[in-house]
């Protein structure tokens, strides 16, 4: 009677001599580092007060892995940067990353642009509120308790979006081959 081979024996027999090429190993390594960077980004955005502690964990990594993780983390933070008031939290986190040393001027320009945009939105909201109160007063509805409903969406100017896009491109470091 012949020997019955197990599934593992069959797999080992068929894959003997097969191995990953250096390029395939590097691709897998980079994918793993990108996933780890996504996890770091989630931890940073969820708990920005612990940013120093979270970023300190990178120091235990080998230098090559640490550099790749830092660059992927920077890339993810820049790609997913919000365009609303929460952008200031993202900018604060970006400034704590090592790549920020070479991008300080661009980060400051972006911060000033966002501050100006926020001021403009507040002024626009006040103007809109005044206009709506006047419309209600013309219909006989007035008083200190009258607060008109305003649309939730604040229109972001195309000029702001274009300038932000330019600054976002200037912040990119191109880590993908």
Q: Rounded to an integer, what distance in angstroms lies between the CA atom of residue 68 and that of residue 64? A: 6
Domain locations along the chain: 7-171
Query: Cα 94–71–109 angle (5° rounding)?
Result: 35
pLDDT in tens, 118-137: 787 776 778 878 888 888 88
Q: Rounded to an integer, what distance in angstroms lies between the CA atom of residue 55 and that of residue 52? A: 5
Q: Rounded to an integer, what distance in angstroms lies between the CA atom of residue 45 and that of residue 146? A: 38
Closest CA to 60 of 86, 74, 40: 40
pTM over 0.75: no
pLDDT in tens, 74-125: 999 988 888 777 888 888 888 888 888 888 888 889 888 888 887 877 767 7
The confidence band for 162, taking pLDDT boundaries of 50, 70 and 90, is confident
143: left (phi over 0), alpha (psi -120 to 50) or beta: left
């Amino acid at each position: 009677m012949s020997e019955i081979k197990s599934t593992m024996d069959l797999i080992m027999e068929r894959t003997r001599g097969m191995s990953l090429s250096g390029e395939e190993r590097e691709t897998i390594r980079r994918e793993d580092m990108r996933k780890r960077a996504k996890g770091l980004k989630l931890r940073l955005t969820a708990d920005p007060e612990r940013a120093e502690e979270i970023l300190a964990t990178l120091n235990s990594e080998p230098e090559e892995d640490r550099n790749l993780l830092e660059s992927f983390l920077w890339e993810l933070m820049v790609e997913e940067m919000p365009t609303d008031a929460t952008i200031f939290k993202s900018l604060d986190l970006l400034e704590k990353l090592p790549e920020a040393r070479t991008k300080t001027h661009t980060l400051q320009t972006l911060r000033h642009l966002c501050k100006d945009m926020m001021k403009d939105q507040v002024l626009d909201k006040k103007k809109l509120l005044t206009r709506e109160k006047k419309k209600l007063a013309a219909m006989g509805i007035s008083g200190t308790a009258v607060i008109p409903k305003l649309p939730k969406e604040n229109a972001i100017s195309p000029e702001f979006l274009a300038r932000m896009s330019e600054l976002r491109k200037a912040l990119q470091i191109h880590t993908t081959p």
